Amino acid sequence: MPKIAAVVFDFDGTLIDESKIFEEAIVSACKTVGLEPPNRRRVKMLARQHPDIYLKQLIPSDMVNREDLLKRFMKAFTNAYDSDRHKHAVLTKHARPLLRALKARGVKVGLVSRRITLWYAIPEILSLFSISHLIDRIVTCNEAKTKKEQLTLCLEGLGVKPSASSIVGDSGEDILAGKAVGCITIAYTKGFGTLSELLTAEPDYLIADLIDVLKIVASEN
């Protein structure tokens, strides 16, 4: 078996960018529940974070009726997101030719995502960009909560050992999950995570273009 027999990709910020609709949905949800929407600069930052992080900022733990507010916020956020129908979704540059090239080489492809309430939209988005057939296994929060658990489950489904795989992600969480499992880790620097965050996680490789994954696969194999 080659050194890299499978490549697992993070979804948001790595393969797909839906930050534009995330921004609009955050503002819409704030208005719906009576919160002051963040300014444009801050909402751009929040839209690139996981809800677990930005909800603590928008709705602090000491806020009255916080649980009810959280439920209403997420319902409003989801409604705003669904109404967009992925019009603002962007496929990362070179993602499609990369996936095709990996399949042509016989490399298995997986996908993991920690989307909480929006995991159901992932197959729709993959179909929209005609890349569903290029991905062998998808694991979302519907099956496993942490990125490490998702990666482990994904590799099991692909039938590939961690030592013969790599993960491509745009956050420190992605890289740390890969290191914990035993994968080769590839940090994508043009996604949602900061360069400082990625460097702190100490990935095996840093790339600014997804197509460079092919060079890494070739060099490792």
Domain boundary among 35, 56, 84: 84
Look up the CATH number of the domain holding residue 188: 3.40.50.1000
Last-in-domain residue among 84, 109, 125: 84
pTM beyond 0.85:
yes
Average pLDDT value for residue range 180-194: 97
Do 196 and 209 lie in one domain? The reply is yes
150: nearest Cα among 15, 13, 11? 11
pLDDT of residue 5: 97
Mean pLDDT of the chain: 95
Average pLDDT over residues 16-22: 95
Are residues 152 and 190 both part of a single domain?
yes
Is 212 contained in some domain? yes
* Tens digits of residue pLDDT in 99-137: 999 999 999 999 999 998 899 999 999 999 999 999 999
Classify residue 130 by burial, with Cβ atoms within 10 Å: 0-12, 13-18, 19+: exposed
Which residues span the domain enclosing 153? 6-17+90-220
Count of domains forming the chain: 2
The fraction of the chain above a pLDDT of 70, given in percent, is 99
Tell me whether residue 1 is in a domain: no
* Burial class of residue 8, CB neighbours in 10 A (0-12, 13-18, 19+): buried
- Asked whether residue 68 falls in the same domain as residue 175, the answer is no
